Structure 1
Amino acid sequence: MKNLIFLSLIILVTGCSKENKASVSVQKNNTETSKKDSIPKIPEPVKLSKNELLKNLNTEIVASLKSKDYDRFSEFIHPEKGIRFSMYAYVQPEKNKHFTREEFIKYISMRTRFTWGEKDGTGDLLIISLKDYLEKWVFKGDFTKSEFYLNEFKGTGNSLNNLKEMYPSLDFTENYIPGSEKYGGMDWNSLRFVFEEFQGEYYIVAVINDEWTA
């Protein structure tokens, strides 16, 4: 009889021990689940379309020109192909000034003058420094308030435009400032950036100004 009672006690204690372990396990699992639930989830970054990306880049580039932050502007220059500047819509590689990113950084703070091309109407040569060219020619209007276009020409006149022939597979943006009523709309101005992809990022390979020419 004593043996029977003793055996019953052992079974009872073993059963309680298993229940306690199971209870602890459940509590532990609940605690871990609670901790996981309490950790804030980091939202996945929104992936922009190419059109949205180029529009944002265009905005940043224009802003850097307006603020004269040329260190920032230099970061948008193509690392391998550099950047070409064209005074007018007709791109002429043999005449247009071209800089590597390193050359741009070197000359932007120097007074070295370059011949950029001939002014329409007079034929006078435009000979000024890189900094003056950006401030007096490239950013000749407040393009932060301009109309934005992607792969589309808004500014059109009697000047030749060979952008698509020179860069047939590349994307470009146009920042267009309409002309005034005073001059019959003929005093419009456009600033275009041509982009090329490199290692998953887009960079400028050309800066092209356009306006009404004689």
Structure 2
Amino acid sequence: MSSSAARIVKGIELNLGKPLPGYEAQKRMEPSVRVDLLGNTTPNQSTRKSAVMILLYPSGQGFNFVLIKRQTYDGPHSGQMSLPGGKFDDTDQTLDDTALRETYEEVGVEPGQVRLLGRLTELYIPVSNMVVQPFVGFTPQKPMFTPNLQEVEYIVEVPLTDLLAEANKSVRVISSHGRPITAPYYNLNNEMVWGATAMILSEFEEVARMIL
């Protein structure tokens, strides 16, 4: 890894240890409606914890991160573009463990390959009644991705510079669970990335802009 790449990674790690941009950054990509099917907007006694991973790795003169296209299933995030991640379970001691385990289970990257740089602001997802903790990780070489085809339809590798490009942001009206909503989104590799994933990436975008 070049000295400039190492400087960028260290800068992101340092910024993740400082006060985070938080909801002010997340809300730039917030859909017009963020409620569950009963209209709830806040965590409750049955809310579960989860974690996702923004996994960075060198690519050419810059960095990529990985997104997954979820398989179609009977659930709130069916067929969506997402970050690797999932629910905290009894085998996890911490949410760090959840993020690393799910990254391994979904895209085949061993936990020992990943250096955790820090965490972003947690986000409540009403439609799945989850509080998600985003982590940022780094591998010094491009991983050999192996998608779990039971959960992942395919993997998308995204240049970090694409996340920072204003031309890749737009808004459209979509139908979500039978309701029309206005959804800001990133167009990344011709994929519409919206909802909680876009909100998480919006905060990471601001952290990355401090360095790049």
Please report the TM-score for the alignment, with normalisation by the length of structure 2.
Answer: 0.26
Higher-helix-fraction structure: 1
- Which structure is larger by alpha-carbon Rg, 1 or 2? 1
Higher-strand-fraction structure: 2
